[in-house]
Amino acid sequence: MSHIFSCGECGRRYPIDEIRYRCDCGAPLEIVSEGPIHVSRNTFDARLGVRQLPYASGVWRFREMLPPLDDAHIVSRPEGNTNLYSVGADEAGGFRRIGEYAGLPSLHVKHEGENPTASFKDRGMTVGVSQAVALGASAVACASTGNTSASLASYAAQAGIPCFVFVPEGKIASGKLAQTLAYGAVTLQIKGDFDAAMKLVQEVCARLNIYLLNSVNPFRIEGQKTIAFELLQQMDWEPPDWIALPAGNLGNTAALGKALLEARELGLISKLPRLAPIQATGANPFYQSYATSFTERFSVQADTVATAIKIGNPVSYERARKAVRETGGVVAEVSDSAILEAKAVIDRAGIGCEPASAASIAGARLLVESGVIKPTGRVVAILTGHILKDTETTVNYHMGDGLYANHPHVVEAQFDEVSAALEKYL
């Protein structure tokens, strides 16, 4: 079975073993299978108990849905196998806070922060770095708001390939910078924003013959598709009505859309969930395009507390537009204060996530309030990153006067003072 690069815009096709990310027309490419794929739910369900690689990975378990790679080239931690928490308002226990907040009796969150480097990026990276190994790449690179760089640095270290990352100076959360430095990536702090770093890394990769591992690379998208396959499998292949997710560079929106369309085509599901990519108001170019029914493409000077999605000119625009259109999706925007409030609720339930991830719950709540998502709808929200990625923002929130702020008590080291502080809670 062979695969090719295909352009969703103009239909041009290219061999998959070429080093290429975009079509000659400029649009990012997609990987498609030229022959029929023979799989059933059983193919994937039968692998659930397997402890050996590659099937122990929540990415490689869905191998037939991925481009072909030899076992010898696979670089896997392994990744995936993240929890799908039932957090609807109908649940017992503290998780139900999230469903109550969103106004949804049936709600799940899929926690992609439970991946090896604590974000969803590991799913695309295992496929992208495996392809780098297959190609014999001498070095790999990416631009990043922090999670992609942490993930690439880790997988490149495992593969033994030099890694260069371009991050906007002073604008990524310290947990992510710490990971990137610690995993040994050569780290360039660019004096500019993510969009400037993204533009630069594409030029540098082309001119210095370095393999580019941003999500413009179609192999990354292929790995990220497995978020959808895994959540469908965890729901016994009964698809939810909606999947809400934070949206920045739009790779994940593109990947989930592609996955859902493929799952339906192969008969793994009979109904398509609708996608709801959620942007921050200060970084909302995709929302603005959606508001014009995609007749116009926008770019903005991005600004949001959710630094992971502080992106003004998303690379995967075309592929994400297709994902929204073909799943009957909607795009929404939420304010920074809505993101921080939703994050506090997710954290307080005992689950926790980084700020950008909370856009999914803030967005679901907004779409329920505005009547787009029916309260009877079955919704899955993707939490893309771990609570410990951005501790500054969390601590700042709890020191401030937000609705759910949990101020620490400073007391002398004496029983009486401690007792007085605890009195009102006992």
Residues in contact with ligand F0G by the rule CB under 6 A: 119, 121, 144-148, 215, 246-253, 308-309, 354, 356-357, 384-385
CB 340 within 8 A of CB 402: yes
Closest separation in Å from C-beta 238 to ligand F0G: 26
Nearest to 394 by CA among 379, 406, 376, 410: 406
Amino acid at 408: P
Closest separation in Å from C-beta 13 to ligand F0G: 25
Distances (CA, A) of 357 to 54, 90, 227, 361: 28, 23, 14, 8
Structure tokens at 40: 């059933």
Shorter beta-carbon distance to ligand F0G: residue 54 or 251:
251
Tell how strand 242-246 and strand 274-280 pair up: parallel
Please give the DSSP secondary-structure letter assigned to residue 390: -
Shorter beta-carbon distance to ligand F0G: residue 96 or 171:
171
The CA-to-CA distance between both ends of the chain, in Å, stands at 66
Closest separation in Å from C-beta 119 to ligand F0G: 5
Burial class (CB in 10 A: 0-12, 13-18, 19+), 188: middle
Shorter beta-carbon distance to ligand F0G: residue 66 or 177:
177
Shorter beta-carbon distance to ligand F0G: residue 104 or 331:
331
Looking at the DSSP bridge assignments, the partners of residue 279 are 333
Shorter beta-carbon distance to ligand F0G: residue 76 or 279:
279
Closest separation in Å from C-beta 249 to ligand F0G: 3
Cα(268)–Cα(222) distance, rounded to whole angstroms? 17
Closest separation in Å from C-beta 346 to ligand F0G: 13
Dihedral sign for Cα atoms in the order 45, 51, 53, 57: positive
Closest separation in Å from C-beta 125 to ligand F0G: 10
Closest separation in Å from C-beta 202 to ligand F0G: 14
Shorter beta-carbon distance to ligand F0G: residue 249 or 394:
249
Closest separation in Å from C-beta 255 to ligand F0G: 7
Distances (CA, A) of 363 to 246, 309, 328: 9, 14, 16
Nearest to 166 by CA among 193, 139, 184, 132: 193
Shorter beta-carbon distance to ligand F0G: residue 105 or 116:
116
Structure tokens at 98: 């999230």
Shorter beta-carbon distance to ligand F0G: residue 54 or 355:
355
